[in-house]
Structure formats: structure tokens, C-alpha cells
């Protein structure tokens, strides 16, 4: 999620965290039973991003969220008075020890090292060189059995 001036990345697939109402910049690995006020952010095994407000108002594309909301590329979000845009595709610079460090772009086979700029597929988690990702527009991710089709949304101007 892109807040003006800062980003919050989705958790790994199959995981969740809580954005506490008192500090949206500091995701917590809380337990659901703790019932803290905030917004649960989930990344499902199938690759979907999901928000579930817990004692906090959330508005997605101008409509209040009740229960939960499945996120889509370009959704505008108001979370506790803060505005954000949801981007499915992650743009990141690899840190030492990142799971993609030492792997190769499946399109051009360039090896990824710490400090490399990478675009991560939202469904399978595969990493790509930014130029290779752009080359796949109109096609689909190269990872076996991944059905994500990159488009030009969210990949320019990063």
C-alpha cells in the first residue's frame, strides 16, 4: 500500500499482520484474539490481498468496508484518515538475506544480488528485472502454473 511518502508491503503469502490504529506505519504480528483496534492485512495463499477493519473505519474507492475487502490494483483506501493506493505488484530493492537474493530473473536469467531492484509477481512471488516485467505486458508471468498477467498499471514511474 502506497501512502504518500511511505509504503507498507503485504505480508508473505498465507500470513497476516495488524496495522494498529495508533500507528499505521508499524505493522504488528498480533494474534486475532488480542482484539486491538486497527486493520488486519492478509495475503492469502492464492495471492489475494485482503483488509479486515477491527474497530477502525476503512473506506475503499469511496465505500465503507464492512467485514472485509479484497483489494485490487489501483484501489484507493482511506485508513484512519490516511489516504493510500493499493498496488498488487511489489517494487523493491533486495536486502541481504531476502528470499530472492541469489535467484535469477526467469525472463533474462540475470542473478539478483542485494541492492538489485526487483518487481515481485503478486501471485507466485517470482522476482523480475523491471525491464523484463514490462516486456511481459500482454503476456503472463514466466513462473510455472502462475496465471498473473502483468499490465502497465502500477509499473511505471517507480
- The reply to whether the predicted model has a pTM over 0.85 is no
The whole-angstrom separation of Cα 158 and Cα 150 is: 15
| Three state DSSP letters for 31-52 | CHHHCCCEEEEEECCCCCEEEE
pLDDT digits (tens, 9 = 90+) for 56-108: 999 999 999 999 999 987 899 999 888 998 877 778 899 999 889 999 999 99
The whole-angstrom separation of Cα 24 and Cα 29 is: 13
Question: Residue 157: its pLDDT value, please?
Answer: 38
Q: In the structure grid, which three cell numbers stand for residue 64, read together?
A: 465503507
Amino acid at each position: 500500500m502506497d501512502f504518500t511518502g511511505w509504503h507498507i508491503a503485504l505480508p508473505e503469502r498465507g500470513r497476516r499482520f495488524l496495522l494498529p490504529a495508533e500507528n499505521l506505519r508499524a505493522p504488528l504480528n498480533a494474534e486475532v484474539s488480542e482484539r486491538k483496534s486497527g486493520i488486519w492485512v492478509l495475503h492469502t495463499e492464492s495471492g489475494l490481498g485482503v483488509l479486515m477493519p477491527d474497530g477502525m473505519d476503512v473506506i475503499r474507492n469511496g465505500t465503507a468496508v464492512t467485514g472485509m475487502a479484497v483489494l485490487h490494483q489501483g484501489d484507493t483506501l482511506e485508513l484512519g484518515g490516511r489516504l493510500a493506493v493499493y498496488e498488487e505488484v511489489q517494487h523493491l530493492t533486495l536486502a541481504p538475506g531476502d528470499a530472492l537474493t541469489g535467484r535469477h530473473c526467469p525472463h533474462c536469467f540475470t542473478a539478483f544480488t542485494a541492492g538489485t531492484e526487483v518487481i515481485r509477481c503478486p501471485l507466485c512471488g517470482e522476482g523480475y528485472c523491471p525491464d523484463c516485467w514490462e516486456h511481459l505486458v500482454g503476456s503472463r508471468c514466466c513462473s510455472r502454473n502462475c496465471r498473473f498477467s502483468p499490465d502497465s498499471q502500477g509499473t511505471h514511474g517507480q
